[in-house]
């Protein structure tokens, strides 16, 4: 099968930052599905791994990147009970296994879901990683209650990005909370409004912006942007006993004491935790993807695919990674193989 | 009335670190109770405020310290509905109001409870601050479920201290969780066992100690000891998606990223948050104290009073503060006025 990978961590300005190669089509065992991939999407994790996985020395074998994908099941392992050959699936993969930048891929059936029938493969491939991240952050970390948050306020920092775009929808549709989303350009601001955000504020000068919007404090904060940059603002804006969740590693030490007098909580959300540690509740991700499927099918949630590219091709990946790294990306960037 | 206070932050080696003085007996308004104090207990917050409140310049008027108290209601404000004159009460007070190191004190009735009838004033005064801290940490921050944690593990760092001593009891009696408590001396170790801890480990070399006890990870951690010192061990021992709660401010910056891959959560518990910010759910502390009262009365919980001193007297306070500062204190130190 054809695959695209890296042997060295190179900038996208380098023509050789991705290489195409032939490798053996893998065989599914145990819980695995063999999936013929139709479309994939690119997330920040893709370029972060590209930038760091082979920084110090060249790899002996190319590493196949890519996590979000949608495709058709070609074969199943012995332990698989929830999927059969021919099923259309979508999933966000595992951090420590070969990725979806290839014609075929093995994926643990406990973290895959049936593709929403009303979404194309491209539209579906845009969703798993960001939706799982947003869902886990909202329901497993912050613990918002379904239909139980009216009167409460949620601040989403980085509303127009991949995770922000689906988090706005999930929070609005499923919890009745008031959503304040940050966006700094007209285009991203309109995008957030269209997705359902009640209030838009600029994340430059966040505390002043919130003051102008007459919002002194919020019950919950989801940070999908720079954790260091927004730390002081988050500490100031969070209500006593409030909950903050972030998905972005901090670079410098943070003053955790700023949350002390408020008895506030800080949660990390890392979508790969369940599969990486093979937690007892790993199957939760399968269930979440199935629940999301129904929400897409009934029209409550919309795919956040914004730009679509074509071809399992090194130049295409180079272009998408470059755009993603620029920070100007809105919603999701998708690459259709077929 | 007689009161004891400080005008300067002085070490306990200084005879003048506390001064006795006469001041007007206050009048209750609105939600306040006027309480004739029968006994108080001393917590780390007492000496921390003594050490810091008048560090830079002498105060014009003496500051009355002291939070935990038990006594009898002498008069009530207009808004009080849950207490009447003559009621025996226990409470842990407010951070920013005059304390209980005095004959009388005003206390907001929304954060007071009826004294357990089977406890003496001295035994009761030992309990409010530590019990509220432990309760909020266990149920409001870590969110353990009553009778719902069998098969799960809770590590309590600092098991023999004031908060640890009641946290062990609450966790064991109300949640069915397995409790691993840390203690480093024979006396403290026996005390923790008597309170119900299932396993005792030494907090020096915590990770090795846990390894020797064959416990590789825990679902929850309550840290009532040095947050900086135990950070790496907590990050290592916490389960993926686990919950850590601390009550002790860190001194140096902490590497929060150590919890990232596990999607772990960090909660602060500060017992004064509700009263300091006058949160909407401030009345929760009254309800918790009433629930605790029933648990004391039915014998499910025991007072953790360990040493009792006598007299509203500067030398007594000096002695108790000194002992409390030494870090050798077990359970609670109580001062009986009457």
Cα-Cα end-to-end distance for chain A: 14
- In whole angstroms, give the CA distance from residue A208 to residue A87: 50
Picking from B88, B233, B81, the residue whose alpha carbon sits closest to that of residue B157 is B233
B264/B146 same-domain check: yes
Hey, is the C-beta of A263 within 8 angstroms of any chain B C-beta?
A: yes
CB contact under 8 A, A257 and B249: yes
CB contact under 8 A, A253 and B257: no
Task: Provide the pairing of β-strand B88-91 with B112-114.
Answer: antiparallel
pLDDT for B328 equals 86
A138/A263 same-domain check: yes
Q: Which residues of A touch B279 (CB under 8 A)?
A: 240-241
3-state helix, strand, coil in chain B (%, to 5): 35, 25, 40
Given a cut of 90, whether residue A327 has pLDDT beyond it is no
Sign of CA dihedral A78, A80, A81, A87: negative
Q: Which residues of A touch B140 (CB under 8 A)?
A: 241, 263
Q: Which residues of B touch A242 (CB under 8 A)?
A: none
B52/B84 same-domain check: yes
Question: How do residues A8-44 score in pLDDT, each as one tens digit?
Answer: 999 999 999 999 999 999 999 999 999 999 999 999 9
Tell me, yes or no, whether A274 lies in a domain. no
Tell me, yes or no, whether A229 lies in a domain. yes
The CATH number given to whatever domain includes residue B228 is: 3.40.50.720
Q: Final residue of a domain: which of A246, A268, A290?
A: A268
- In whole angstroms, give the CA distance from residue A111 to residue A92: 8
A117/A63 same-domain check: yes
Q: Which residues of B touch A270 (CB under 8 A)?
A: 260-263
Shortest CA distance from B246: residue in chain A? A260
E strand or H helix at B41: strand B32-42
CB contact under 8 A, A266 and B276: no
Hey, is the C-beta of A143 within 8 angstroms of any chain B C-beta?
A: yes
What are A151's two structure tokens?
A: 């009167």
Shortest CA distance from B274: residue in chain A? A240
CB contact under 8 A, B276 and A261: yes
Q: Which residues of B touch A250 (CB under 8 A)?
A: 256-257
Task: Provide the pairing of β-strand A112-114 with A88-91.
Answer: antiparallel
Considering only CB atoms, B263 lies closest to which of A256, A264, A269, namely A269
Write the CB contacts of A54 (distance below 8 Å, at least 6 apart in sequence).
Answer: A6, A7, A8, A9, A63
A180/A225 same-domain check: yes
Hey, is the C-beta of B136 within 8 angstroms of any chain A C-beta?
A: yes
Considering only CB atoms, B268 lies closest to which of A140, A259, A268, namely A259
- In whole angstroms, give the CA distance from residue B283 to residue B274: 9
Shortest CA distance from B252: residue in chain A? A255
- In whole angstroms, give the CA distance from residue A276 to residue A263: 30
CB contact under 8 A, B265 and A267: yes
- In whole angstroms, give the CA distance from residue A205 to residue A182: 11
Q: Final residue of a domain: which of B268, B293, B317?
A: B268
Q: Which residues of A touch B281 (CB under 8 A)?
A: 241
CA distances for A6 relative to A21, A22, A107, B23, angstroms = 10, 13, 20, 77
CA A190, A331, B266 angle in degrees (round to 5)? 105
Q: Which residues of A touch B264 (CB under 8 A)?
A: 267-268
Task: Tell me the residues of chain B between 159 and 188 that have a Cβ less than 8 Å away from chain A.
Answer: none
CB contact under 8 A, A261 and B273: yes
Shortest CA distance from A95: residue in chain B? B261
Contact B222, B142 (CB under 8 A): yes
Q: Which residues of A touch B262 (CB under 8 A)?
A: 268, 270, 273, 277
pLDDT for B204 equals 87
Question: How do residues A266-293 score in pLDDT, each as one tens digit?
Answer: 999 999 999 999 999 999 999 999 999 9
Considering only CB atoms, B265 lies closest to which of A249, A266, A272, namely A266
CB contact under 8 A, A263 and B273: yes
CA distances for A119 relative to A85, A123, A309, angstroms = 20, 6, 17
What are A125's two structure tokens?
A: 């491939």
| Residues of chain B scoring pLDDT < 70 | none
Task: Tell me the residues of chain B between 113 and 132 that have a Cβ less than 8 Å away from chain A.
Answer: none
Tell me, yes or no, whether B261 lies in a domain. yes
Write the CB contacts of A310 (distance below 8 Å, at least 6 apart in sequence).
Answer: A316, A335, A336
Hey, is the C-beta of B266 within 8 angstroms of any chain A C-beta?
A: yes
pLDDT for A132 equals 98
CB contact under 8 A, A270 and B255: no
How far out from the chain centre does Cα B48 lie?
Answer: 13
B173/B260 same-domain check: yes
Task: State which residues form the domain around B20.
Answer: 2-127+278-336
Tell me, yes or no, whether A273 lies in a domain. no
Tell me, yes or no, whether A160 lies in a domain. yes
A190/A311 same-domain check: no
Considering only CB atoms, B266 lies closest to which of A265, A276, A277, namely A265
Q: How many CB pairs under 8 A join A and B?
A: 98
Q: Which residues of A touch B277 (CB under 8 A)?
A: 240, 262
- In whole angstroms, give the CA distance from residue B170 to residue B301: 7
Question: How do residues A130-174 score in pLDDT, each as one tens digit?
Answer: 999 999 999 999 999 999 999 999 999 999 999 999 999 999 999
Rounded to the nearest angstrom, the minimum Cα separation between A268 and chain B is: 5
A93/A11 same-domain check: yes
Tell me, yes or no, whether B273 lies in a domain. no
Taking phi over 0 as left and psi of -120 to 50 as alpha, with beta for the rest, A163 belongs to: alpha
Hey, is the C-beta of B277 within 8 angstroms of any chain A C-beta?
A: yes
Average pLDDT, chain A: 96
Question: How do residues B141-164 score in pLDDT, each as one tens digit?
Answer: 999 999 999 999 999 999 999 999
Picking from A223, A217, A214, the residue whose alpha carbon sits closest to that of residue A242 is A217
A228/A287 same-domain check: no
3-state helix, strand, coil in chain A (%, to 5): 35, 25, 40
- In whole angstroms, give the CA distance from residue B93 to residue B86: 19
Q: Which residues of B touch A277 (CB under 8 A)?
A: 240, 262
CB contact under 8 A, B276 and A253: no
B245/B305 same-domain check: no
How many CA atoms lie less than 13 Å away from B239 in the CB half-sphere?
A: 18
Phi, psi of B50 (to 5 degrees): -60, -40
Hey, is the C-beta of B330 within 8 angstroms of any chain A C-beta?
A: no
Considering only CB atoms, B249 lies closest to which of A260, A262, A263, namely A260
Average pLDDT over residues A111-131: 98
Taking phi over 0 as left and psi of -120 to 50 as alpha, with beta for the rest, A304 belongs to: alpha
- Looking at chain A, which runs of residues are DSSP E strands? 2-6, 19-22, 32-42, 63-64, 68-76, 88-91, 104-108, 112-114, 153-157, 178-182, 199-201, 218-223, 238-246, 265-268, 305-310, 332-336
Which value does ipTM take for this structure?
A: 0.94
CB contact under 8 A, B268 and A270: no
B40/B118 same-domain check: yes
Considering only CB atoms, A241 lies closest to which of B249, B260, B273, namely B273
A62/A121 same-domain check: yes
Q: Which residues of A touch B267 (CB under 8 A)?
A: 263-266
Q: What is the 3-state secondary structure (H, E, C) of B215-230?
A: CCCEEEEEECCCHHHH
Hey, is the C-beta of B250 within 8 angstroms of any chain A C-beta?
A: yes
The CATH number given to whatever domain includes residue A24 is: 3.90.180.10
How many CA atoms lie less than 13 Å away from A33 in the CB half-sphere?
A: 32
Q: Final residue of a domain: which of A268, A299, A314?
A: A268
Number of domains in chain A: 2
């Amino acid at each position: 099968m054809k695959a695209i990978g890296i042997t060295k961590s190179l900038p996208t300005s380098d023509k050789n930052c991705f290489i195409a190669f032939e490798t053996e089509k893998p065989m599914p065992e145990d819980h695995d599905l063999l999936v013929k991939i139709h479309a994939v999407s690119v997330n920040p994790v893709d370029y972060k791994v590209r930038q760091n996985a082979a920084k110090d020395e060249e790899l002996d074998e190319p590493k196949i990147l890519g996590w979000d994908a949608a495709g058709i099941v070609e074969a199943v392992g012995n332990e698989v009970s929830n999927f059969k050959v021919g099923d259309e699936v979508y999933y966000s993969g595992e951090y420590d296994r070969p990725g979806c930048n290839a014609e075929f891929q093995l994926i643990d059936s406990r973290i895959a879901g049936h593709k929403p029938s009303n979404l194309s493969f491209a539209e579906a491939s845009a969703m798993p990683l960001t939706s799982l991240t947003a869902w886990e952050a909202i329901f497993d970390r912050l613990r918002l209650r379904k239909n139980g948050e009216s009167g409460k306020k949620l601040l989403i920092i980085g509303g127009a990005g991949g995770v922000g775009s689906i988090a706005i929808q999930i929070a609005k549709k499923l919890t009745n909370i008031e959503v304040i989303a940050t966006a700094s350009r007209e285009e991203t601001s309109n995008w957030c409004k269209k997705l359902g955000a009640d209030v838009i504020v600029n994340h430059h000068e966040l505390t002043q912006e919130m003051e102008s919007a007459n919002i002194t404090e919020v019950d919950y904060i989801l940070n999908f942007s720079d954790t260091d940059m927004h730390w002081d603002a988050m500490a100031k804006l969070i209500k006593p006993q409030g909950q903050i969740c972030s998905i972005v590693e901090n670079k410098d030490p943070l003053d955790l004491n700023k949350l002390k007098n408020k008895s506030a909580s800080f949660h990390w959300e890392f979508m790969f935790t369940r599969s990486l540690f093979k937690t007892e509740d790993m199957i939760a991700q399968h269930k979440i993807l199935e629940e999301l499927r129904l929400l897409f099918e009934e029209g409550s949630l919309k795919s956040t695919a914004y730009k679509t590219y074509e071809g399992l091709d090194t130049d295409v990946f180079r272009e998408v990674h470059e755009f993603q790294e620029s920070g100007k990306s809105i919603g999701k960037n998708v690459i259709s193989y077929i």
